[in-house]
Structure 1
Amino acid sequence: MIGNWRKRSQSTALSSGIVVDGQRKTTGGRSRTRLLMTMTVFFGLYAALTSRLVHLAVLEPEEGAGPQSRVTASRPDLVDRNGEVLATDIKTASLFAEPRRIVDADEAIEKLATVLPDINYEQTYNKLKSGAGFVWLRRQLTPAQQAEIMNLGIPGFGFRTEKRRFYPGGSTAAHIVGLVNVDNQGISGMEKYIDDQGLADLQASGLAIPRDLKPVALSIDLRVQHIVHDEITRALERYHAIAAGAVILNAKTGEVIAMASVPDFDPNNPFNAHEKDRLNRIAAGTYEMGSTIKSFTTAMALDSGKVDMNSTFDARRPITIGRQTIRDFHGKGRVLTLPEVFIYSSNIGSAREADVVGIDGHREFLHRMGLLDRVKTELPETARPSEPKTWKKVHSITISFGHGMSTTPLQTAVGAVALVNGGFLMNPTFLPRTEAEAMANATRVVHAQTSASMRYLYKLNATKGSGGSGARAAVPGYRVGGKTGTAEKVVNGRYSSDVRFNAFLAAFPMDDPQYVVLSIVDEPKPEKPGMAATSGLNAAPVVHNIIRRAAPLLGVQPDFRLEEEPLLVSSQ
């Protein structure tokens, strides 16, 4: 019995053991199944969410669906060469509406008009009745406007914080710094330049993070920029002109230290920025530059090796070619030496200088000096010079004294840099550049001796008692030299003796020029009844005032020991 009981117990135990093990296996399988199902559902949801996000990322936003992220894209500060802020981002509020939540559009507009009286009723009404999810009503409000609109308590109205560009100097450097649009994207000037260098791509990708955007330094000196802007604004009023402008270039590096043109605009409120009289006449306007071009004609003749400082030119009689007769303004009626041709600004003498070189050589020289090709620089707004399609002798003669070709004042100043710095042409830049960097990309365009001769002629022309037309630009201690330019403008197809474009091209100090300054006065009137309105009476004084005020800031030390008459350089 005992044996039978043991057998039954073992059988029962074995039987029980099989049953328990089967239960464990069944339970474990169900748990794994549930886990797999849970993971499948989770990954399915994750995949769906990821797919939706990718779809939304590539989908074009519907009109009125809400503000795009680029609206609040940041921009780097623009600063001058000394770190003074020229442009920066500030936070501002913009007003939007959700038309689906607007109860009474008429009442909403009436209330809004108490704060924004210039609001367009019809346009705003159509927006509020559109049924869209989102519409802009007014971008970039002042804090006071935002507070007043909030106090109106209009349901369906809201605000979004955006970035707005602020220019502390106002119009002082407007043509250089440029503008941004309402979405904080550069549309002109150096603002547009930095967008084109990759900022726009960073903004579009959402990577324009403020803390990562280092300030962009420009070559200009805000102190000197203020002086230039102030002087040309005074000249505009003093000489009753339609426009005025000036530029200062570093003769060693080609850096633009200051440049301004008036009338201009305030980039903080650029409502009139696109008016045609607001263009930057220094870089974006082309003009017949008058007798300033005689600088290049004389340099060309000297550089050809066919004449020297002792050469003479017959200016006793006018030159007649075809239907044109070339005369001198207050001519001497005698044979002139090369320095006399320059300081008396003889049209006849300049024509004979050009004749020595020839038509092809003349054209080639002006292209070599960069006067007939579009200037290469960072500023987007630059004009293309013009010249005759086919040069004939009459063209060479008239171009020799500044008529018959048009170039920009900036290019004229750039060419003058090469004439006084030893003969090296360098593209102008609005970014800081060392002398070594400038020379690495500079091109020799005239011989060193030609440059030395031109420095002498410039100084001679601005020395009192020499009879030169640039005496009014002289500043005691700063050894200023230069050349006037009075060009008659074309009116109704003919040159008018009463409508002029005046310029003065200068450099200082002439023993070792550090800076080139060019001023323009467009259509000046006599300052007083009975006075003339030539460049020596208006453009030259502008340069005088600019140098007098700016030279100390630029670190040029006055030296009164060198206020003697210039010595004639050797022509050997």
Structure 2
Amino acid sequence: MTRTPLRPLARILAARAKGENPDAIERENIRLRHEQMRDKARMRAESRLLILSVAFVMGFGLVGARMASLAASEPSEPQVASHGAGIVAQRADIVDRRGRILATNLLTHSLYAQPPLMVDPQRAAHELAAIFPDLDEDRLLKDFTGKRKFLWIKRRISPEQMQAVHEIGEPGLLFGPREMRLYPNGPLAAHVLGGAGFGREGVRAAEIVGRAGVEKTFDAWLRDPANAGKPLQLSLDLTVQATVEEVLDAGMKLMNAKGATAILMDAHNGEIVAMASLPDFDPNDRPSPPVSGDPSDSPLFNRAVQGLYELGSTFKLFAIAQAVDMGLVNPDTMIDTKGPLVWGRFKIRDFHNYGPQLSVTDVLVKSSNIGTARIALQIGAVKQQEFLRALGMFDPTPVELVEAPGAKPLRPEKWPEITTMTVSYGHGIAASPLHLAAAYASLVNGGTRITPTLLRRDHVEPGPRIISERTSAILRDMLRQVVARGTASFGDVPGYSVGGKTGTADKPLRTGKGYAKDKVIATFASVFPTTDPKYVLVVSLDEPVETSGAEPRRTAGWTAVPVAAEIIRRTAPLLGLRPELEPVADAGVIRVRN
């Protein structure tokens, strides 16, 4: 900046020449300089005030906008900032088809210790061992007096246990809030739900992750905050499930079986209304998987899905269905049943001598191995395999259970004519009861393939056609005759027109060589009502023995069939099926339909 001199020489000389006072020029220049300085200072002050005012206005504007945003949003709990990904503890509920709770969350607490904060570690260890008998007092004392600065004592405790620990008065014993998975119905539908446990754990929260069943299959969905807590709705009916499990448990004990399973499925959309496997477990206290022995002996083993069994004569319906649909036979076609049927070094026999000939219907009603084998020979190995593949008998079921993909049916690598014959009556091929239920539903519902599911469906597109509607109607009539006058006579339930097919298969030895002589898998695959099929029920018993007679009886007609009949009798009204009562002769009663 250029400064003006206070006493400019030219003006001083000019003033002296005129006789003026040169000091007046200096005073005038000082005054002007001060005025300039004052003006600049005022401008700086005004600029600073303007900037400060703008800053205040913007600050208050931001605060006001944030307050308006918070006022318009939903209230939520504040979150503590921390490094790393947070633990999302909230997990969606699981409900049945009517919205009743199958699995939910419960707020509880964990118990942990910080030994450096403890006043009396010895007393704390003694009191904790008294409250939790499974804890070792000496081990606790060693941990409390060692170098550890933190240790878990209990991952979850009850309110009563929390109060008891609180009364110890030890500042080094602390509680952490967390959610735990609760199954209010205990073991009910245990194999479907599977169970959950803790994944990542922190002091203030724990991650709940699925361990098995639908809990693991839908683990990501159940934990996804984007679902806003929407429950996962299953196709199960809680009341029907409880009834099926109650009857199946009583039947298993009555028939002295080591295990049992039952599947009740909608024949038209594949919804599984009930699925039971015994023995079972409580998912609130899920046991550890076995590390040795037969996996099927564990209560965790889901016999309905994971159990691969030779299902015996229940397979005879497949051979007859295919032959009828191909036009090779009709229900009245006579089949040669003279026995034994010799094929090379193999001999195929029937359980009883049924005479030289049986109609196709009676081959199924009386369960003739020879008759079914001769029908299968007419079909041929290639077409037989194509039909079984179309029914889903060569692949794992796509049901929404994490255990399902590992249950792929066991079938022969080679398929000579003798295999074609034995497979036709369920020998030499192993599938799960769920495979059987889905296949029967596909045959009796009009002939379209169904896909089993554990999810509630509002609408299902028909699957590919397996057989014609005419063939399906013929099969329903045949299955009804099996119950009315055949091997499943104990399966008749008045008012509900039950049809079905029995199957009794010898259990293979664990060595893989040969079959046990006194151990069987007894199965009854049923449909009701046969006049208008709504549901398919498959009941299978592992090593049953009926002992009410002089000799033990193990066939499905004496073991699995009565259990299935009682399940139908108890569940049909729960499913909304009204009995159709036939008029009594000469009683003057007229049946009235709405």
| TM tier relative to shorter chain | 0.7 to 0.9
Structure 2 residue 392 is matched with structure 1 residue 370: yes
Match of 1:193 among 194, 208, 217: 217
SS in 2 for 1:518: strand
- Kept in 2, the 8 Å contact 1:313–1:335? The answer is yes
Larger Rg computed on CA atoms: 2
For 1:310, give the aligned amino acid: D
TM-score (norm 2): 0.82
2:467 corresponds to 1:446: yes
Deviations 1:334-373 (A, max 9, x none): 2111011000100101111110111111122111111121
The amino acid that maps onto 1:337 is S
1:502 counterpart (519, 522, 537)? 522
Q: Distance in 1 between matches of 2:388 and 2:144?
A: 61
Change (3 A) 1:562 1:262: farther
Deviation at residue 107 of structure 1 after TM alignment: 4.1
The match for 1:477 among 474, 488, 495 is 495
Change (3 A) 1:477 1:30: closer
Aligned partners of 1:448, 1:219: CA distance in 2, in Å?
27
| Local SS of the residue matching 1:444 | coil
Indicate conservation of the 8 Å contact 2:341/2:347, yes or no.
yes
Q: Would the alpha carbon gap of residues 57 and 104 (structure 1) be closer, same or farther in structure 2, given more than 3 Å must change?
A: same
Q: Which residue number corresponds to residue 354 of structure 1?
A: 376
- Alpha carbons 1:477, 1:563 under 8 Å: kept: no
Provide closer, same or farther for how the CA distance between residues 103 and 322 of structure 1 changes in structure 2, counting only shifts above 3 A.
Answer: farther
The corresponding residue for 2:314 is 292
Residue 434 of structure 2 aligns with which residue? 410
| 2-structure distance, mates of 1:518, 1:438 | 24
The offset of 1:230, in angstroms, is 0.4
Once the two structures are superposed, residues 506-546 of structure 1 have per-residue CA deviations (whole angstroms, 9 ceiling, x without a partner) of: 00110110000010111011232524221111111111111
Equivalent residues in 2 for 1:223-302, closer than 5 Å: 223-271=239-287, 276-278=297-299, 279-302=301-324
Residues 126-178 of structure 1, C-alpha deviation per residue, up to 9 Å, x if partnerless? 65456455432111111111111111122321111111111111111111112
* AA at the equivalent of 2:564: V
* The one of 429, 433, 450 aligned to 1:426: 450
Shift of 1:486: 0.7
Correspondence for 2:415: 391
Q: Does 1:96 align with 2:86?
A: no
Q: Does 1:534 align with 2:555?
A: yes
Q: Which moved more, 1:139-148 or 1:181-190?
A: 181-190
Aligned ranges 1:59-208 → 2 under 5 Å: 69-70=86-87, 73-102=89-118, 105-120=121-136, 124=140, 127-128=143-144, 131-182=147-198, 183-196=207-220, 198-200=221-223, 202=224, 207=225
Alignment partner, residue 489 of structure 1: 507
Structure 1 residues 358 and 563 mapped into 2: Cα distance closer, same or farther (>3 Å)? farther
Quote the Cα distance in structure 1 between the aligned partners of 2:499 and 2:584: 12
- Which residue does 1:47 correspond to in 2? none
Q: Is the 8 A contact 2:545 2:559 kept in 1?
A: no
Q: Give, in whole Å, the separation in 1 of the partners of 2:178 and 2:26.
A: 88
| CA positional deviation for 1:254 | 0.7
Distance 2:237 2:222 in 1: 24
Question: After superposition, what is the alpha-carbon deviation per residue over 1:232-256, rounded to whole angstroms, capped at 9, x for unaligned?
Answer: 1101211111001101010111100
Distance (whole Å) between structure 1 residues aligned to residue 584 and residue 322 of structure 2? 29
Determine the structure 2 residue equivalent to 1:343.
365
- TM superposition score normalised by structure 1: 0.85
Matching residue's letter, 1:367: R
C-alpha distance in structure 2 between counterparts of 1:236 and 1:4, whole Å:
131
How far apart are residue 57 of structure 1 and its match? 3.3
Give the equivalent residue in structure 2 for 1:401.
425
Matched to 2:436, the amino acid is T
- SS of the residue corresponding to residue 235 of structure 2 reads coil
Look up the match of 2:591: none
**SS of structure 2 residue aligned to 1:443:** coil
CA contact (8 A) 2:289 2:298 kept: no
Indicate which of 416, 437, 451 corresponds to 2:460.
437
Match of 2:33?
15
Deviation at 1:109, TM superposition (A): 2.2
| Aligned equivalent of 1:548, options 562, 569, 590 | 569
Q: Please provide the CA RMSD for this pair.
A: 3.0
The CA distance in 2 between the partners of 1:105 and 1:393, in whole Å, is: 77
What's the offset of the Cα at 1:437? Answer: 1.6
1:180-216 CA distances to partner (integer Å, 9 max, x unpaired)?
A: 01342111111112214x344x3xxxx479xx21111
Q: Which amino acid aligns with 1:550?
A: T
Change (3 A) 1:545 1:367: same
CA contact (8 A) 1:477 1:562 kept: no
AA aligned to 1:390 is K
Q: Which runs of 5+ in 2 are unaligned?
A: 1-18, 53-78, 199-206, 586-594
Letter in 1 for 2:358: L
CA drift of 1:28 comes to: 9.4
Going from structure 1 to structure 2, the CA distance change for 1:131 and 1:545 (only over 3 Å counts) comes to same
Is the alpha carbon distance of 1:92 and 1:25 closer, same or farther for their aligned partners in structure 2, counting shifts above 3 Å?
Answer: same
State the match for 1:514 in structure 2: 534
- For residues 228-284 of structure 1, give each alpha carbon's deviation from its aligned partner in whole angstroms, at most 9, with x where no partner exists: 100111012111110011010101111000010110001112236667431110111
Distance across 1 between alignment mates of 2:38 and 2:147: 68
Structure 1 residues 478 and 241, CA gap change in structure 2 (3 angstroms): same
Whole-Å Cα distance in 2 between the matches of residues 24 and 146 of structure 1? 71
Q: CA deviation at 1:402?
A: 0.9
> In structure 1, the residue corresponding to 2:111 is in which secondary structure?
strand
Task: Go from structure 1 to structure 2 and tell me whether the alpha carbon gap of 1:273 and 1:169 turns closer, same or farther (over 3 Å shift).
Answer: farther
Is the Cα–Cα contact under 8 Å of residues 74 and 208 in structure 1 kept in the other structure?
A: no
Work out the CA distance in 1 between the residues paired with 2:540 and 2:289: 21
User: Residue 528 and residue 240 in structure 1: after superposition, are their counterparts in 2 closer, same or farther (change >3 A)?
Assistant: same
Unpaired stretches in structure 1, ≥5 consecutive residues: 35-52, 60-68, 565-572
Aligned residues: 523
